[in-house]
Structure 1
C-alpha cells in the first residue's frame, strides 16, 4: 500500500491533480456519469484498446478530516480495509486478483482514500462484490486492530524515521501550515498512532465509509450500461450512510513573515532547498487563477524547457536540479514550490539566488505570448501521454469528483487553460509568490552551513 503525503511539492503528483483533462474524447469513448439511489457517484470511462479494466473506489475522506488527536487514522483504516468480512476472509481479495494476473493497491492522501484493482473485464462483477461488501461489512476485532497498528507503526519507522528527507518534509509542512490540518502528516504522528484503538477505527468507519461518501470509477474495456447494471446489483444494495456535514476545515491565517526549517544529517550527500507558499487550488481559486498557477509552475520549472532548467542548470551550470510544482488538486489551499540542488563546486546559496532572480524577473517583466503558448503546448502534450493509461484516467476523474469538482469541470479545463493570458500569469506570480512570506527548508550535510 502506498501513502501520498499532504503536499506533493516535487511536481510528481501529476495523477492527482484536477487539471488532467484533455480535448473531449470521441463519442465512442464518451465518459458517462450517474448516481445510484443510495448516493454513490459512478463514472465510466470506456477504453476498448485492450481487454483490461481498472476499478477504483474513492472515499471523500483523508488525513485532513481526522478528529483532533487521532492523526493517522485515515491511513490506518486503509490497512484495515484488507482485513476481511464475514463473506470474504482476509487475503481473499488479494488472492483472487493475483490468480487473475491483475493487481490491486490503495493509497491515502490528505483529502481522499482510494482502493483499486486492475483485472480482466469478466472479473469486474467480482471486484464490485468485494468492494461493496467491505464498504460496510468489515469485521474489526481488538486482535486485528492491535496487529495492524504495529504494522503502520513500523511503516512510519521505515518511511519517515529512517529518511532525512521525510523527517524534514514533516517539519517543513508543519511550518508552512500554521492552522490547517494539511500540516499534520498523512501517516500520523507516532505518539498519536500508538494510541489508536478499535473504538477509533469503528467510529471512523461508521462515519465515512458509505456509498453516499464515495465515488466509483470504472475505466477500460466496458460498456456504461453494463457497469450500471453491475453497480446496482452490488453497490446499490449497500445501505446509505449518515449524511455528512460540509468538509469545512480550519483555514490559514494571513502570513506576514518568512520562515525556514533546516536539517543537518549525516545521511545527506547533496544539499538541497525547497521554498513554498500556500496558494489557492482549483476548487478554491478565483476564476483563471489555478490555471495560471499550473502554467506558472510549468514555465518556471516543469520541464527541461523551463526557465529554471535552462538558465540555472544548462546555461550557468549552477544547479544539478531546479524545478517548480503546484499542488492544484487539493481540496483546500495547498502548495506552490520551487526547489533546487547545486552542481559541482557551486553552493546551495548560489542556486537559491539564481532561482530567486528568475522568479523576480518573471514577476517584474512578465512573459511573452510566445513563451506562454509554448508552455501550454508542453503542458497539453504531457497530459496526452497521461491519458494513454486507463488507470491515469480513473485517477483523473476520481480525484476530481472526490474533492468537490465535477465531470464538466474536467471536460472544460482545456478551454480554460487556452484562455490564460500573460497578464494573468504575471499577476498570480506577483500576488502569491512573495519572498517575504515564503517558507523554506534546507537539507544539509553535517558540515554545511545554513546556506
Structure 2
C-alpha cells in the first residue's frame, strides 16, 4: 500500500472531465426532498414516494468518530449501542421489540462524521417510532451494569471484525499511515484498550454534548408528504429545547511529502492483495470542485469490467484476478482515491504494481476520451435511478449529505 497525494498533473485530466460533464446538468433530479426547519433548529426532510404504504424514518446526528476526544476512540459507536438501553418510558430492549412487533425493522450506524438511527415500517405506524426516537434524544438512562455488558459486546465486535480479520487489521494500519493528523486515522470502532476504559460518565457526557434537536436532521422517505410530516415532527421533536453546541473544528492534514508503504502478512491469508490510496479533495476539504470529476474518473479507471484497469490487467494482460478503483469524497475531512488489484498465481506484487503505474501514467499523459466519460456517466445515472426503487436509499443518501453540511439545493 502506498499513500500519496494526487499529483498536479492529475488536475489537468480532471479539468477536461469538468468540461465534458457540463452538458449533462439539465437532467431531472434523482430525489425531490422537501425541507423545513423547526423552531428548535431541527431540520425536517420529506421524500415522497407513495408506491407502497411504507416509510423509512431516520434521525441523523452531526457527530461521529472524528469528533471524539483523544483517548476516547470508539465513544461515538459505544453511545450508539447504549441508545438502545432505554429510557424511563421505553425500557431497555423495548424499542427494537416494539418496532418488530409492528412489522418493521431498524438499527443504527456510526460514521466518522455522523451517527444515524433508522426504522422502516408501515406508514400508519410512523408516529409510533417518532415518539420513541424523540424520547431517547433527551431521556436516555444508563444502568451501570448494562453499560459494562455493552462494552463487552463492542469489544467482541472489535475482535470479530478487526482483530480476527487480516483485512481489518491492515485497514486500521493503512488509515493510520495515510492520515498524519486528521482524526480519520483513528479506528471508528476504537482501539481495544481505549474501549475498555470508556465509562458511563464518558457516554453520558458525549450524549449531552452532541445529542440535541439543533444538531440533528430528521429524514422520512416513502409514503409521506411534508403536509403530513410537519405536524408529527412538531409534536414529537419540536417540543425538545435546543441546546448550545460545541465547536466542531478539526485539525488539518500537513503537507504530504513522502509516500508510505504498509505490508502485512498473516497466516490466515492465502491470497495476496494490493491497494494504493491517495488523499483527495472532498465536499468540504480541499478543492471541492474536483469531487464530481474525481467520481467520474474513478468509474472510468476502475468502475467495472469495462474500466481501464480491469480491461488491461485482468482481460488483456491476465496478470490480475480483479482490479478497480473508487473515490470517497462525501465527507467533512479529506477524501480518498483508491486503487486495488489481486494478482494471479505466478505474478508478483511488484510486477502488478509496475503494470498499474504504467496505466496510471498513460491516463495522466493522455487523459480520457469523451466516450469513456459518457459511458461512466450513463452507468452512474443508472445506479441513481435504481436507487429510487428503494424506500431506504433516498433517506440514506439525503440524510448523509445533510449531516455533513450539504444543502437541499446541493442534493
Q: TM-score, normalised by structure 1?
A: 0.83
Deviates more, 1:311-320 or 1:64-73: 311-320
| 1:32-43 equivalent positions in 2, closer than 5 A | 32-43=34-45
Pair 399,270 (structure 1): closer, same or farther in 2 beyond 3 Å: same
Task: State the distance in 2 between where 1:287 and 1:144 align.
Answer: 43
Deviates more, 1:376-385 or 1:70-79: 376-385
Q: Secondary structure in 1 aligned to 2:85?
A: coil
In the alignment, is the contact (CA less than 8 A) between 2:73 and 2:188 conserved in 1?
yes
Task: State the distance in 1 between where 2:261 and 2:347 align.
Answer: 21
Q: Secondary structure in 1 aligned to 2:305?
A: coil
How many aligned positions are there? Answer: 387
Q: Please state how far the C-alpha of 1:102 moved relative to its aligned partner.
A: 1.4
Task: State the distance in 1 between where 2:56 and 2:225 align.
Answer: 13
Task: State the distance in 1 between where 2:166 and 2:327 align.
Answer: 23
Deviations 1:111-162 (A, max 9, x none): 1100100000011001100100000100023222111111111111111110
Deviations 1:50-109 (A, max 9, x none): 111000000000000001110000000000000000000111111111112211011011
Pair 215,173 (structure 1): closer, same or farther in 2 beyond 3 Å: same
In the alignment, is the contact (CA less than 8 A) between 2:282 and 2:332 conserved in 1?
yes
The residue aligned with 2:340 is 339
Pair 87,22 (structure 1): closer, same or farther in 2 beyond 3 Å: farther
In the alignment, is the contact (CA less than 8 A) between 1:22 and 1:384 conserved in 2?
no
Q: Secondary structure in 1 aligned to 2:293?
A: helix
Task: State the distance in 2 between where 1:283 and 1:409 align.
Answer: 13
Is 1:114–2:116 an aligned residue pair? yes
The residue aligned with 1:79 is 81
The residue aligned with 1:233 is 235
The runs of at least 4 aligned residues of structure 1 exceeding 4 Å deviation read none
The residue aligned with 1:322 is 323
Q: Aligned-residue CA RMSD in angstroms?
A: 1.5
In the alignment, is the contact (CA less than 8 A) between 1:62 and 1:113 conserved in 2?
yes
Q: TM-score, normalised by structure 2?
A: 0.91
Deviations 1:243-295 (A, max 9, x none): 332x2211111111111111111111110011011111022343531111111
The residue aligned with 2:63 is 61
The residue aligned with 1:399 is 400
In the alignment, is the contact (CA less than 8 A) between 1:323 and 1:340 conserved in 2?
yes
Pair 111,287 (structure 1): closer, same or farther in 2 beyond 3 Å: closer
Task: State the distance in 2 between where 1:396 and 1:182 align.
Answer: 21
Deviates more, 1:57-66 or 1:101-110: 101-110
* Long gaps (5+) in structure 1: 1-20, 411-451
Task: State the distance in 2 between where 1:209 and 1:304 align.
Answer: 44
* Long gaps (5+) in structure 2: 1-24
Task: State the distance in 2 between where 1:347 and 1:393 align.
Answer: 43
Deviations 1:17-67 (A, max 9, x none): xxxx995459xx842101111111111000011111000000000000001
| 1:290-305 equivalent positions in 2, closer than 5 A | 290-305=291-306
